[in-house]
Amino acid sequence: MGFFSPFFICVEDMVLEELLELTLVGMGYELVEIEQLSRGKLIRVFVDKEGGITIDDCVTISNHLSRLLTAENIDYGRLEVSSPGLDRPIKKESDFLRFAGEMIKLKLRVPVQGQRNFVGVLREVNDGILKLEVEGELFDLDMRNIGKARLVPKL
């Protein structure tokens, strides 16, 4: 019977994320998110670039990453490459800076003024504090308290 180490799994995920991040940046793309389902047998990679992602981009990335994962001996059953969609997740501080002025939806880990869910215009980010305008009121939110954040699609 094998030893289960949650730390070992996290290190593997971290190694995969770093490998994909470096590779995609070198190809001119941004790694937005990785999902691993069915014990790593399905790897779903969400990518973006200025101007958006095309089907041809996804095919190019998929072919390149398939060869990379094989060369790096990373066991997987299926690889999916996709755009993050109009409601793309916002995770890194650079994402928040990039999307200043856009409408976002976020969920806090710990409520602020009794509220965990906010929808408003992202005004700025300074020193880990996000300024969000909600119906004319400005909220200063600690980025460490943000559980999830997504763009609100413009339809």
Condensed to tens digits (0 to 9), the pLDDT of residues 116-139 reads: 999 999 999 999 999 999 999 999
At 150, the pLDDT band (50, 70, 90 cuts) reads very high
Which CATH superfamily is 93-151 part of?
Ribosome maturation factor RimP, C-terminal domain (2.30.30.180)
pLDDT higher than threshold 90 for residue 7:
no
* β pairing state of 103-112 and 115-126: antiparallel
pTM of the predicted structure, to 2 decimals: 0.78
Same fold, 6-82 and 93-151: no
Which of 90, 89, 86, 69 is closest to 78 using CA atoms? 69
pLDDT, position 77? 92
Mean local confidence (pLDDT), 83-93: 92
pLDDT, position 6? 39
The string of pLDDT tens digits covering residues 13-28 is 668 999 999 999 999 9
Percent of the chain clearing pLDDT 70 (strictly above): 90
| Exposure string over 6-30, b if 16+ CB within 10 A, otherwise e | eeeeeeeeeebeebbeebbeeeebb
Which CATH superfamily is 6-82 part of?
RimP-like superfamily, N-terminal (3.30.300.70)
Contact 120, 96 (CB under 8 A): no
User: Any idea where the domains of the chain sit in the sequence?
Assistant: 6-82, 93-151
